[in-house]
């Protein structure tokens, strides 16, 4: 694509519509040979992502946020290639950048399909979204002397410390077809980038509404 600014403006417009916000803009952070696009609204809010504060967009409940980043690699003659798209769902108070990372949708666009390694696009599940598990059972455990220690000894030990955050859950595949081309997809052009971003954010909103209805909210 010829203009990173054009992509940023088109994505901002799509996000404005799908999130129902009055105003969304993009900002560019340029490095040698690369540009990263981030998206913000007013009033601004931030979250700590990879050790630095970055802008996030609010979801309607006021406690959930989306961090959206698009990384571009410079090719030549002012042309850019989309290298990576990240849509992170977070939750937390708007007054602090310390927010909980719940899940992330990603699309890594490799120059060669043989470099993919993981499904593209894919999801990462990063936390249980604050779900309290078995509160009634916990009360029972506290009421029976010695039972808590028994459970602690019998409970299976985790295989790794948070390693499942690195699991890539395939988002788009054709495994049901014979022959299958596998879980690796490509984005053909700028229009496809904008369409996928808008569609993915729309689906996240839809699923959050579904979760809230199930919780009786």
Task: Judge whether 152 lies within some domain.
Answer: no
Per residue in 163-214, pLDDT tens? 778 899 999 989 999 999 888 888 989 999 999 999 999 999 999 999 999 9
The domain total for the chain is 1
What contacts 216, CB < 8 A, 6 or more positions away? Answer: none
pTM for the full predicted model? 0.83
Is residue 140 in some structural domain?
Answer: no
**Domain assignment present for 150:** no
Give per-residue pLDDT as tens, 20-49: 999 999 999 988 889 999 999 999 999 999
Residue 54 lies in a domain: yes
> Does the residue 154 lie in any domain?
no
Rounded Cα distance, 173 and 193, in Å? 18
Residue 142 in domain: no
In a domain, 39, yes or no: yes
Domain range enclosing 90: 4-129+163-214
Residue 193 lies in a domain: yes
């Amino acid at each position: 694509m010829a203009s990173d600014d054009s992509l940023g403006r088109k994505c901002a417009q799509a996000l404005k519509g799908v999130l129902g916000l009055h105003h969304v803009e993009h900002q560019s952070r340029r490095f040698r040979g690369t540009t990263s696009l981030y998206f913000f609204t007013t009033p601004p809010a931030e979250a700590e992502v990879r050790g630095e504060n970055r802008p996030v967009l609010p979801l309607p409940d006021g406690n959930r946020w989306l961090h959206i980043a698009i990384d571009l690699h410079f090719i030549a003659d002012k042309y850019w290639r989309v290298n990576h798209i990240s849509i992170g769902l977070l939750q937390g108070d708007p007054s602090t950048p310390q927010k909980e990372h719940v899940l992330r949708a990603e699309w890594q666009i490799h120059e060669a399909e043989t470099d993919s390694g993981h499904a593209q696009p894919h999801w990462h599940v990063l936390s249980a979204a604050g779900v309290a598990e078995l509160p009634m059972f916990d009360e029972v455990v506290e009421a029976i002397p010695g039972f808590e220690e028994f459970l602690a000894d019998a409970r299976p030990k985790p295989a790794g410390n948070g390693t499942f955050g690195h699991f890539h859950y395939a988002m788009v595949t054709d495994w049901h077809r014979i022959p299958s081309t596998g879980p690796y997809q490509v984005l053909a052009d700028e229009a496809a980038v904008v369409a996928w971003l808008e569609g993915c954010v729309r689906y996240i909103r839809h699923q959050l509404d579904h979760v809230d209805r199930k919780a009786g909210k």
